[in-house]
């Protein structure tokens, strides 16, 4: 379908590794990397694993600064790890973070979704903290993973 074409496939190997890691973990959401280094104009996928440990099949909404899943009034503003003294924080609009808005996950299962990170040519060189929030539809329970993106 169109959405898969937009974000690309997750390789079987990546999916297996992330599912194995998340199965053994107490956490319910996990990124394959939490730190990423890119240059202006780069585009790269990171991968988000979501575990449904509820007693029901559920739809999980995925929210990023550019992805309007329904996660309530959660703050999805990206922030800056280091802002040099005397300078204003650069604008996060140079970074686009998109993925599936929601994903149906059978109870007890884990799904792995690609998250596309795109940097515009004008992006400032700094480290950005980008929140990715996952919200279970039936309970409203939220999990969050932060990606630290350094633009060189």
Tell me the pLDDT tens digit for each residue of 125-149. Answer: 889 999 999 999 999 999 999 999 9
User: Which of the four pLDDT bands, split at 50, 70 and 90, describes residue 1?
Assistant: very low
Q: Region 14-39: what's the mean pLDDT?
A: 95
Q: Is the pTM above the cut of 0.75?
A: yes
Q: Which two tokens stand for residue 43?
A: 């585009």
pLDDT for 70 equals 79
User: Which of the four pLDDT bands, split at 50, 70 and 90, describes residue 5?
Assistant: low
Give the three-class secondary structure for 91.
coil
pLDDT for 71 equals 83
- Please report how many Cα atoms fall inside a 13 Å half-sphere around the Cα of residue 27, on the Cβ side: 15
Report the relative pairing of strands 29-31 and 43-51 from DSSP bridges: antiparallel
């Amino acid at each position: 379908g169109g959405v898969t074409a937009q974000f690309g496939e997750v390789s079987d190997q990546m999916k297996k590794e992330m599912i194995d890691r998340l199965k053994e973990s107490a956490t319910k959401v996990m990124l394959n990397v939490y730190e990423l280094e890119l240059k202006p104009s780069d585009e790269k996928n990171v991968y988000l694993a979501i575990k449904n440990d509820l007693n029901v099949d559920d739809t999980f909404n995925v929210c990023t600064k550019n992805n309007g899943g329904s996660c309530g009034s959660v703050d999805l503003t990206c922030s800056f790890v280091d802002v040099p003294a005397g300078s204003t924080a650069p604008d996060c609009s140079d970074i686009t973070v998109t993925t599936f808005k929601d994903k149906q996950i059978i109870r007890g299962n884990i799904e792995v979704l690609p998250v596309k990170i795109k940097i515009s040519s004008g992006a400032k060189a700094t480290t950005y903290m980008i929140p990715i929030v996952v919200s279970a539809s039936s309970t409203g329970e939220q999990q969050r993973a932060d990606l630290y993106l350094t633009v060189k």
